[in-house]
């Protein structure tokens, strides 16, 4: 495999092709099917001019019930006065990267906490997650031969949708824990009270986190010359740690060869990397307060994160979350389960990406392996027939949650099986698997069962630190990266052989 350095610091094995060379906001024509769906959605948004408060006229779900609305107004007004957390130009660059992923000329890695916690906030935890994502991206780029688009579920992933508004323990019923941006995890009345000033605290923690991430990305920490230094301390004696160091050694050798050929090590792609943030667009008061008009394009951008997604519980066509996301110009995503109807997905895509802009919309599939094999082909076929362009992403976490010995957990084998099914379906249909979306941490936790870490059911109470859903630990995450790299390499080889 012939390797060359990409501008983003990834290793590449082939030139760009297809839609990857399209300029920003280049649109692709859609069939009459999608056009009819788009016309049908016009009654849902009323044809009105969009603004960040337009969602308030729509039905809305999964919002906190604050007791003091005056304090809500004050807290939201304070956030609205704050600087944006991200910038419109960064979003436009990310859209271009995601457009490449839709055609197989890049691959997307989403990774991070189920829900960030105020109590676990520290520079070391941010660093460890960041370098785990860097490690995984090197494994994927070196093994798969494509640039990796890196998105952290960080600097804003504080809120979680709930299946029920309350929780009952020992006969006591209290509001459900909805994430630190709303209330606390401790099971008492004071902690579970929805506090609007937590919104401000979440903004401040996000700003501090982004400041550190930018320092890592552009200050030399993420330089390719440091690949061998990214290994987490507790990973050094694991099989995955050894396998990573083998790749790091080969990358170092490639770099030394390129230096000998005259490459300048001070070039940006050698010293810097692109790193983006993402979270679920759930709390619309918070998101609207951070939505700003870009002075260079006169377009609205959600400035709380580079990438925002709509969850399975909030993707109703005539509801507030879809209406909000259709108006921001960030790249966005929608999570879908086996409950999604093929006709409805075409309608939803038409509403959220009416110009059919490559890179604008990612469909993040969360079903479990068996249901994915049964239901994903019909969704992909419907989108293909409509001529719509999306980036397909696999979330193998949320369809595989179970309770063992009183702990919410996920089995590594089930997570991997869903990724395997995702690649298999795309291979059968001749379409593009564009990315994976993982809940994971750089901490040495025992929250998911199995994998190279050999976490057993009896280990769950050892280092179970999540406030919400269970996360893959570093060893399990790297093992997933090696498997995905293998599938990407197989796909590349089939393309070279003219198969598929």
Buried b (16+ CB within 10 A) or exposed e, 16-25: eeebbebeeb
Is 398 part of any known ligand binding site?
A: yes
Q: Which string of DSSP letters, residue by residue, matches 465-497?
A: --SSS--B-HHHHHHHHHHHHHHHHHHHHHHHT
- 313 annotated ligand binder: yes
Q: What does the angle CA 100 – CA 104 – CA 109 come to, to the nearest 5 degrees? A: 75
Start-end of H helices in 183-238? 197-218
Q: Which two tokens stand for residue 202?
A: 């979440």
The answer to whether 92 is a known ligand-binding residue is no
Residues 284 and 308 sit within 8 Å (Cβ to Cβ): no
Residue 493: partners with Cβ closer than 8 Å, 6 or more residues away:
none
Q: Is 58 annotated as a binding residue?
A: no
Find out whether 439 is annotated in a ligand binding site: yes
Query: H-type helices in 301-355, by residue range?
Result: 320-327, 342-352
**Does residue 469 have a known ligand-binding role?**
yes
| Phi and psi based region of residue 437 (left: phi greater than 0; alpha: psi -120 to 50; beta: remaining) | beta
- Listed as own residue / partner, the contacts of 122-126 with beta carbons closer than 8 Å and 24 or more positions apart are 123/212, 125/441, 125/442, 125/443, 126/154, 126/209, 126/212, 126/213
Q: Checking DSSP bridges between strand 148-153 and strand 276-280, what pairing results, if any?
A: parallel
Q: Looking at residue 442, what DSSP letter applies?
A: S
To the question of whether residue 335 is assigned a binding role by annotation, the answer is: yes
Pick out the residues of the known binding site for phosphoenolpyruvate. Answer: 153, 312-313, 335, 366
Pick out the residues of the known binding site. Answer: 114, 153, 312-313, 335, 366, 398, 439, 469
Pick out the residues of the known binding site for Mn(2+). Answer: 114, 398, 439, 469
């Amino acid at each position: 495999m012939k390797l060359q350095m990409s501008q983003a610091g990834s290793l590449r094995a082939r030139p760009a092709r297809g839609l990857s060379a399209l300029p920003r906001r280049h649109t692709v024509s859609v069939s009459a099917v999608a056009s009819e769906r788009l016309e049908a959605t016009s009654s849902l948004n009323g044809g009105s001019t969009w603004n960040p408060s337009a969602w308030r006229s729509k039905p809305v779900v999964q919002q906190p019930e604050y007791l003091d609305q005056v304090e809500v107004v004050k807290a939201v007004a304070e956030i609205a006065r704050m600087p944006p957390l991200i910038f419109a130009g960064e979003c436009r660059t990310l859209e271009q990267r995601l457009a490449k992923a839709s055609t197989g000329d890049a691959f997307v890695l989403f990774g991070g906490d189920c829900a960030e916690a105020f109590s676990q906030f520290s520079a070391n935890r941010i660093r460890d997650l960041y370098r785990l994502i860097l490690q995984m991206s090197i494994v994927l780029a070196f093994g798969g031969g494509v640039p990796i688009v890196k998105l952290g579920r960080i600097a804003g992933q504080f809120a979680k949708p709930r299946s029920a508004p309350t929780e009952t323990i020992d006969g006591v019923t209290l509001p459900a824990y909805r994430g630190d941006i709303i209330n606390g995890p401790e099971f008492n009345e004071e902690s579970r009270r929805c506090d609007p000033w937590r919104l401000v605290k979440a903004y401040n923690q996000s700003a501090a986190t982004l400041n550190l991430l930018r320092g890592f990305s552009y200050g030399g920490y993420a330089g390719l010359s440091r690949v061998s230094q990214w290994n987490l301390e507790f990973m050094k004696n694991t099989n995955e740690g050894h396998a990573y160091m083998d790749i790091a050694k080969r990358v170092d050798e490639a770099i030394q060869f390129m230096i000998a050929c005259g490459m300048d090590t001070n070039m940006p792609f050698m010293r810097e990397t692109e790193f983006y943030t993402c979270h679920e667009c759930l709390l619309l008061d918070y998101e609207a307060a951070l939505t700003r008009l870009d002075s260079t394009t006169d377009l609205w951008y959600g400035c709380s994160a580079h990438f925002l997604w709509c969850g399975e519980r909030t993707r109703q066509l005539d509801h507030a979350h879809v209406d909000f996301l259709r108006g921001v110009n960030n790249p966005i995503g929608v999570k879908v389960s086996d409950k999604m109807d093929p006709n409805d997905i075409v309608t939803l895509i038409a509403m959220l990406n009416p110009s059919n802009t490559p890179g604008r919309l990612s469909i993040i599939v969360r079903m479990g392996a068996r249901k994915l094999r049964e239901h994903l082909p019909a969704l992909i076929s419907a989108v293909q027939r409509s001529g719509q362009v999306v980036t397909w992403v696999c979330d193998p976490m949320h369809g595989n949650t179970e309770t063992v010995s009183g702990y919410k957990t996920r089995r590594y084998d089930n997570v991997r099986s869903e990724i395997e099914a995702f690649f298999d379906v795309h291979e059968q249909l001749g379409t593009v698997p564009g990315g994976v979306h993982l809940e994971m941490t750089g901490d040495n936790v025992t929250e998911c069962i199995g994998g190279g870490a050999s976490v057993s059911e009896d280990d769950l109470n050892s280092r179970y630190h999540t406030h919400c859903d269970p996360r893959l630990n570093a060893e399990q995450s790297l093992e997933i990266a090696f498997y995905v790299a293998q599938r990407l390499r197989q796909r590349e080889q089939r393309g070279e052989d003219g198969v598929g």
